Structure 1
Amino acid sequence: MKYKIYIVEDDLSISNLLQEYIGKYGFEVRVVVNFHRVMIGFNEFNPDLVLLDVNLPEFDGFYWCKKIRQQSKIPIIFISARDSGMDQVMALESGADDYITKPFYFDVVIAKIKSHIRRAFGDYAPKVEERIFEVDSLKFYPERSEIEFNGEKLIITKREGVLLACIMEKYPKIVSRDFLLEKIWDDIEFVEENTLSVNISRIRKRLQVLGINMGIETIRGAGYRLNKTW
């Protein structure tokens, strides 16, 4: 398996060097270039580990660490020139797993990445019984973010998975918008009105790829329901 590393670092010279070096060890690497789309890129890439700087445009690394932790338990390693004890405490309290100070040795970065990958996904990872949500021939495996229908399989993002799991688990009942919003965001007041609709639309398109047309039905004024048309 090729593990994916997401680098959130605004110094292009550092991020490009990290991408090149980490890539030599067989990892797939993506570097953030648009800091208005950090979480969009995160959900699209669906990484296994994040390297995160503290000083970033718009919002700092502590903010992004908390946002990632709202929807994922993957390892997060800070790499920063800020070397005070308080910065390291803030990083850990924000949900980080490790902290590397600049200047750093690339070999140390690689060693820590490998160590955290082993603990999260390898021999040292806690054994978790795989869950499955199933409605007839449609199956969803949240631990691998994978949909299966009639032998065809497709990977979806973690956020899409949270929504799909809720809708499949409640089938044939309707799931309210408020319930779904509470599942993926801490505070509904700060979510744009169309954000949930966009994510539901993406799930419909994923299901359509597998041959399920209009797989999620919108119940006006009530919410959403799995539309079992197969």
Structure 2
Amino acid sequence: MYKILLIEDDLSLSKNISINIKKWDYEIKTIENFQNILEEFIEYKPDLVLLDITLPYFDGFYWCKKIRDISKVPIIFLSSRDSNMDIIMAVNMGADDFIKKPFSTEILLAKIQAILRRAYSYSDELSDIIEVNSAILNISDSTITYGNNSKELTKNEFKILQILMKNNGHIVSRDNLMRFLWDSEYYISENTLTVNINRLRKSLEDIGLIDFIITKKSQGYMIK
């Protein structure tokens, strides 16, 4: 079942869209706290976003950029604003479609179905991010984001953090990390792994992630 996140402050319209979308066996979540949209997006992990332009606090263009910074999930703008500049801005921000209000639910559903087919026809799941304890690892560009700070990781830093975050709460042994990093028949010194771990820790500290990776003596490493 595909999950849709609806970001719309018109309660009547939001309720109407939700009722009709559920009839087509989609799961839908509506935003109620318009100050924490990105946090709810990360937690819900939707397959598609319906996004109004005029919203409390920050407009839809702002939230579209925030979402695009961490994900390629399809975004459809819904708005009564339809000037050429609005449409151009929506496209430039990474929107997949723009629907002018008022619209029929049949048109909306047809566009949702078409975009979902295009986005997921060759994949059961599209995931661009891994999120642990408010730290966001972006798979597409090898960046780690925490709060308002981001850092681009080296190839080995990214690979180490990726496997640790995917195994959040579990110890990853040094042997498994070394096999993942250097899939080679040649011997790699354990000190080389230690150097890479220390470099990664320094990169994480640069954006405020202190003691994010902990050492389990004689066992390996894990996310705190």
| Closer/same/farther in 2, CA of residues 228 and 38 from structure 1, 3 Å limit | closer
Tell me if the contact between 2:4 and 2:27 (Cα under 8 Å) persists in the aligned partners.
Answer: yes
Query: What corresponds to 1:84 in structure 2?
Result: 83
Query: What corresponds to 1:167 in structure 2?
Result: 161
* 1:45 counterpart letter in structure 2: Y
Residue 73 of structure 1, CA deviation: 0.3
Residue 41 of structure 1, CA deviation: 0.5
Residue 20 of structure 1, CA deviation: 1.0
The reply to whether residue 108 of structure 1 matches residue 107 of structure 2 is: yes
Q: Deviations over 1:28-73 (max 9, x none)?
A: 1000000011011001100010000000001000000000000000
* 2:12 counterpart letter in structure 1: S
Q: Percent identity?
A: 41
Residue 176 of structure 1, CA deviation: 3.5
Whole-angstrom distance in 1 between the partners of 2:92 and 2:43: 26
Residue aligned with 1:90, SS: helix
Query: What corresponds to 1:41 in structure 2?
Result: 40
Tell me if the contact between 2:71 and 2:129 (Cα under 8 Å) persists in the aligned partners.
Answer: no
Query: What corresponds to 1:5 in structure 2?
Result: 4
The reply to whether residue 63 of structure 1 matches residue 62 of structure 2 is: yes
Whole-angstrom distance in 1 between the partners of 2:70 and 2:134: 7
1:227 to 213, 221, 224: 221
Residue aligned with 1:100, SS: strand
Residue 89 of structure 1, CA deviation: 0.7
Q: Runs of at least 4 residues of structure 1 off by over 3 A?
A: 142-146, 155-166, 168-172, 179-182
Query: What corresponds to 1:19 in structure 2?
Result: 18
Higher alpha-carbon deviation: 160-169 or 28-37: 160-169
| Closer/same/farther in 2, CA of residues 84 and 40 from structure 1, 3 Å limit | same
Residue 83 of structure 1, CA deviation: 1.5
> Unaligned regions of 5+ residues in structure 1, if any?
131-141, 147-154, 183-187, 201-215, 219-225
Residue 17 of structure 1, CA deviation: 0.9
* 1:167 counterpart letter in structure 2: L
Whole-angstrom distance in 2 between the partners of 1:97 and 1:159: 27
The reply to whether residue 217 of structure 1 matches residue 214 of structure 2 is: yes
| Closer/same/farther in 2, CA of residues 70 and 15 from structure 1, 3 Å limit | same
Q: CA RMSD in A?
A: 3.5
Whole-angstrom distance in 1 between the partners of 2:40 and 2:93: 20
Tell me if the contact between 2:72 and 2:128 (Cα under 8 Å) persists in the aligned partners.
Answer: no
Highest Rg: 1 or 2? Answer: 2
Query: What corresponds to 1:149 in structure 2?
Result: none
- For these two proteins, the number of residue pairs brought into alignment is 170
> Unaligned regions of 5+ residues in structure 2, if any?
139-143, 145-157, 164-180, 182-192
Whole-angstrom distance in 2 between the partners of 1:74 and 1:181: 29
| Closer/same/farther in 2, CA of residues 145 and 26 from structure 1, 3 Å limit | farther
Residue 6 of structure 1, CA deviation: 0.3
* 1:99 counterpart letter in structure 2: F
Residue 145 of structure 1, CA deviation: 6.8
Query: What corresponds to 1:97 in structure 2?
Result: 96
Whole-angstrom distance in 2 between the partners of 1:58 and 1:103: 23
Q: Deviations over 1:188-215 (max 9, x none)?
A: 6xxxx5xx56xx5xxxxxxxxxxxxxxx
Tell me if the contact between 1:75 and 1:120 (Cα under 8 Å) persists in the aligned partners.
Answer: yes
Higher alpha-carbon deviation: 168-177 or 13-22: 168-177
